[in-house]
A and B are shown apart, each in its own frame.
Chain A
Amino acid sequence: MMAKLLTPEVFMIVKVVAVFIIVLTMVAIGTWVERRGAAFIQDRVGPNRVALFGKFRIMGLTQPVADGIKFFFKEDVIPDNVDRILFVIAPIIAFIPATMTFAAIPFGRPFDVNGVNYFLSILPPATNIGVLYILAIGSMGVYGIIIGSWASNNKWSILGGMRASAQVISYELAMTMAVVGVVLSTGSLQLDEVISAQTGLWNVVPQFLGALVFFVAMFAETNRLPFDLAEGESEIIGYHTEYGSMKFSMFALAEYANMITAAALFVTLYLGGWHFPWLDQWIWGSILAFLMKLIFILWIFVWVRWTLPRFRYDQLMRLGWKVMIPLSLVNMVVVAIFLAYRG
């Protein structure tokens, strides 16, 4: 019965719906993990008052739901003197690329049923531009920030927007250079090739330097502390100062969606994707392995945020241009020489 229903078209629809729901749920749970994780690190309890039907607290897991409802029903204020069209579309521009990027990530092992090959990612894994697609779409999110801060007609916001654009451009370079190392060693831009090349040895071991650069750049790309200069709530209050209600929440959701995508990309490029000893021989096992790695990286995001202070703008730039880019170049050259020597 199930096997009859399983056609590539149906499977595609199921995948799209499932991935979209799971990513958005993870975004919501991400805010919960952030707050409870912060509380855990800071030796306090964290949000635990919201109760389902007034009875079941479930460790505050309903807090994101309450927050979401609140954001929906708040008055949607558009201040005077803002550029109304840009002001409204900026959160959308920030949010959509963040959710689009996940489409290329393979999150489980492909399988064959009745001679048809099924793959667990929305875009076909044989897409020739897999890595490029992610880098291209992923860097579009910053337009939302820049447009939003510009449209806000607020000096502090525009400072945040300028910081975000400079930061993303600088770290995008280092990130891409680091990815070039992976592409070189794989010999392909297809993400399924990248994953299958990591069978046995994850890229994080031979390309430790590249992984490090990518990991640091990931924080800068997603505007997370120690690089959350675009927000910098104690200095410039943030690029989204003028935003409220659901528009503000779109920016917040975009941040978490970006985190998930960046973490998924890191897992795919350096941590072997859905590979895991013993576990990846089953389809569900491979999905589980992928999710476990993803959640681990996401937890590191939270962990770092609540441990480190914030960089200053010029220090951030210095780190990006003088440390990160040379390091990624070194990684690239080392990989290239190694490959050339091996033939």
Chain B
Amino acid sequence: MTDIKKEIDVKTDRMIVNMGPSHPVTHGTLHIVLELDGEAVAASDTKIGYLHRGVEKLGEYRTYHKFIPFTDRLNYTSSINNNVGYTLAVEKLLGIQSPPRAQVLEVIACELGRIADHIVCVGINAVDIGAFTVFLYIFKYRELIYDIFSRMSGARLTTSYTRIGGVMRDLDDKTIQMIRDFLRDFPSAIDELEALLTRNRIFYDRTRGIGEFSLEDAIQYGYTGPCLRASGLEWDLRKNQPYLGYENYEFEVPTGTRGDVYDRYLVRVEEMRQSVRILEQAIENIPEGPVIIQDSRIALPPKEDVYNTIEGLISHMKLVMEGVKTPVGEVYSATEAANGELGFYIVSDGGSKPYRIRVRPPCFPIFSSFDEQVKGHMVADAVAILGSLNIIAGELDR
């Protein structure tokens, strides 16, 4: 392309356009400044911070429990995974573990959240490439997941499902039945999705070789999650550093070979299938028992104790007024959220409020490589790449 220009000696100017902060493809408030040479992207500059709400700082002025609703607003397409990630970090700080039943419920919640997140990512990526129908076909199932969430936690999007030492509420039979129905119907929806996209020539041409990222680069940039696995490394915290008893479930970690948009799509689709496998195992083996730790210094005592015994009332009041007391120390706990490694780094000075909370969002390191990936591609490819990276402004800016 450049040779032709040299031959006929045309003067061309580069055009600078703003993709975002308000652009249909940014799905949130991202700002990408593209320098275009015709339709090709010569350079790009990403600007973040439009959705910065100071979540980490807000955490320093709240007790550990009160931070849970803030985690909903990190990656808002799979809030429940953030809830689990945060409470696991606090539990690690306290040196406790939630009861077995709660752990299985958290696994169920996490996998449903992962499916919901992948549905959004794959669906929106397809919309950005122009295939609108695919998006609506699978989005129906995200709706079913949200119905399940609203029965589990009372909220569809901002779930705040977990508590320190367990979960807020037990699963009832109807919800379990809903999950079973979902697991029965969803695989056929994935087949439908694949029938429309995987071997679609236009989709293949639009995604194969676009945003190709080598494994070395991916590791250098600190990639995690589906994008790293698409580059070829079998790295999944559920396998490599099991938590919540993930070692007891049978599932595979799909990997790609080239790390392009197509591989990321394939990895996400396969992960949805694997999540269904995990859910099928989990839903049949929910152990009996309490769903939250029986320790009135950490979890609220049952209401009958609060209303009928003075000890219950006092511990309820102390917990609500003062919060959970933590030992002095610092802890980093990471979980495999839908987008990659979601880490919470908590420093405690022994009080009931964290001295410092730091969230390690999966998409921050991924987004930092956007400029490099998009260089030399076209505007339409920038759109496809952005969709495949699954940048959620909520956790990117915090």
Contact = CB atoms under 8 A, between A and B. Distances in A.
State yes or no: do A and B come from one complex.
Answer: yes
A42 B137 contact: yes
Interface string B174-200: 000000000000000000000011001
B378 A41 contact: no
Contacts of B129: 234, 309-310
Given A155-B17, A308-B131, A312-B378, A234 B383 contact: yes
Interface string B129-153: 1111100110010000000000000
Interface string B357-398: 000000000000000000000111101000000000000000
A80 interface: no
A43 B130 CA distance: 18
Contacts of B130: 225-226, 228, 232, 234, 308-310
Contact of B200 (A228, A237, A308, A312): A308
The main secondary structure of chain B at its interface with chain A is helix
Given A43-B137, A155-B15, A309-B129, A235 B202 contact: no
A312 B205 contact: yes
B133 A313 contact: no
A100 B205 CA distance: 38
Contacts of A306: 132-133
Contacts of B136: 42-44
Contact of B203 (A41, A225, A234, A309): A309
Given A234-B24, A235-B379, A312-B378, A41 B133 contact: yes
Interface residues of B, number: 30
Given A156-B17, A232-B380, A311-B202, A237 B24 contact: yes
Contacts of A308: 130-131, 200, 202
Interface in A1-55: 38, 41-44
Contact of B23 (A237, A311, A312, A313): A237
A123 interface: no
Interface string B1-39: 000000000000001010000011100000000001001
B25 A235 contact: yes
A314 B133 contact: no
Contacts, number: 82
Nearest to A163: B39
A128 interface: no
B379 A236 contact: yes
B236 interface: no
Interface in A202-238: 225-226, 228, 232-237
A311 B131 CA distance: 11
Contacts of B206: 309-312, 315
A233 B24 contact: yes
A155 B127 CA distance: 23
B128 interface: yes
Interface string A305-342: 01111111111000000000000000000000000000
B190 to A, nearest CB: 16
Interface string B23-62: 1110000000000100100000000000000000000000
A234 B128 contact: yes
Nearest to B204: A309
A159 interface: yes
A233 B130 CA distance: 9
A43 B140 contact: yes
A275 to B, nearest CB: 34
B20 to A, nearest CB: 12
A234 B378 CA distance: 14
Contact of B380 (A42, A43, A235): A235
A315 B205 contact: yes
Nearest to A314: B378
Nearest to A311: B202
A133 B90 CA distance: 76
B228 interface: no
Interface of B: 15, 17, 23-25, 36, 39, 126-133, 136-137, 140, 196-197, 200, 202-203, 205-206, 378-381, 383
Given A237-B24, A313-B379, 6 more contacts: A159-B39, A234-B128, A309-B202, A310-B206, A312-B378, A312-B380
Sorted nearest first, the 3 A-B pairs with minimum C-beta distance are: A310-B130, A309-B131, A309-B130
24 contacts: A38-B132, A41-B133, A42-B132, A42-B136, A43-B137, A159-B17, A159-B379, A163-B39, A233-B24, A234-B129, A235-B379, A307-B133, A307-B196, A308-B130, A308-B131, A309-B130, A309-B197, A309-B206, A310-B129, A310-B206, A310-B380, A312-B205, A312-B378, A315-B202
